[in-house]
Amino acid sequence: MAPSARKESALSKQEKLELVADMLEINHTTTVIEAFSLASKTGLDLRMLYDIIVGAAGNSTAFQQIGARLLSVDSASTTPSSSMASLQELERKVQKVLAESVTLGLPLPLTNQSAQLLLASKKYSSGPDELAMNALAKTFETLGSDKIEGKQKGLSEVTLSDGSQEEKPSSLEKVAFVGLGAMGLGMATSLIKANVPVVGYDVYPPSLQKFQDVGGKCAKSLEDAVQGAQCLVLMVVSIQQAADIILGTSSSPGIGDLLSPSTPILLHSTVPPSEIVQLQSSLSKLPSKPILIDAPVSGGTIRAAQGDLTIIVSADDHTGSVIKSIRPVLDGMTGGLNIKGRLRVLDGGLGQASFVKLVNQHLAGVHVALAAESLALSTRLGLHAPDLFEYISKGAGQRGTSWMFENRVPHMLTGDLTPLSAGAIFVKDLTIVGSEASNLGIPVFLASSALQLYIYGVGAGWGGDDDSGIVRMWEPLGIKAHQKW
Helix ranges (H only) for 284-351 are: 300-306, 321-325, 327-334
Q: What is the mean pLDDT of residues 32-61?
A: 94
d(C-alpha 323, C-alpha 314), whole Å: 9
* Residues 6+ away with beta carbon under 8 Å from 159: 320
Mean pLDDT of 408-431: 93
Give the distance from CA 357 to its chain's centroid: 6
pLDDT at 389 over 90: yes
Which residue, among 358, 314, 470, 402, has the nearest Cα to 21 in the 3D structure? Answer: 402
- 476 vs 362: CA distance, rounded Å: 27
Q: pTM for this structure? A: 0.91
What is the C-alpha to C-alpha distance for residues 127 and 116, in angstroms, rounded to an integer? Answer: 18
Q: Give every CB contact of residue 65 below 8 A, 6+ residues apart in sequence.
A: 76, 77, 81, 83, 84
| pLDDT score of 301 | 85
| DSSP letter, residue 284 | T
**Residues noted as catalytic:** 357
∠281-285-287 over CA atoms, to 5°?
140
Task: Kindly tell me if the per-residue pLDDT of 163 is higher than 50.
Answer: no
- Assess contact for 381 and 9: CB atoms under 8 A: yes
pLDDT greater at residue 84 or residue 68: 68
pLDDT of residue 79: 39
Higher pLDDT, 456 or 316: 456
Q: What is the pLDDT of residues 185-211, one digit of tens each?
A: 999 999 999 999 999 999 999 999 999
* Domain at 175-346: CATH architecture: 3-Layer(aba) Sandwich (3.40)
Q: What is the pLDDT of residue 420?
A: 82
List strand residue ranges (DSSP E) for 113-230, in order: 175-178, 198-201, 217-218
pLDDT of residue 4: 57
List, in order, residues 6 or more apart from 199 with CB less than 8 Å away: 174, 175, 176, 177, 217, 218, 219, 225, 229
pLDDT at 485 exceeding the cut of 90 = no
Q: Is the pLDDT of residue 77 over 50?
A: no
Name which of 170-174, 272-276, 443-447 the model is least confident about.
Answer: 170-174
Give the mean model confidence (pLDDT) for residues 381-393.
96
Band (pLDDT 50/70/90 cuts) for residue 154 is: very low
- Cβ-contact 449, 109 below 8 angstroms: yes
What pLDDT is stored for residue 442 in this prediction? 97
Note the pLDDT tens digit of each residue in 334-348: 986 555 668 898 888
Q: Where are the domains of the chain?
A: 13-150+355-477, 175-346
Rounded to whole angstroms, the Cα distance separating 6 from 66 reads: 37
29 closest CA partner among 307, 400, 439, 397: 400
Distance between CA 108 and CA 4 in Å, rounded?
A: 19
13-150+355-477: CATH number:
1.10.1040.10
pLDDT digits (tens, 9 = 90+) for 297-333: 988 888 899 999 999 999 987 557 888 899 999 999 9
Rounded Cα distance, 334 and 356, in Å: 17
- When the pLDDT of each residue in the chain is averaged and rounded to a whole number, the result is 91
Q: pLDDT (tens digit, 9 = 90+) per residue, 225-234?
A: 999 999 999 9
Residue (of 5, 3, 91, 19) closest to 381 by Cα position: 19
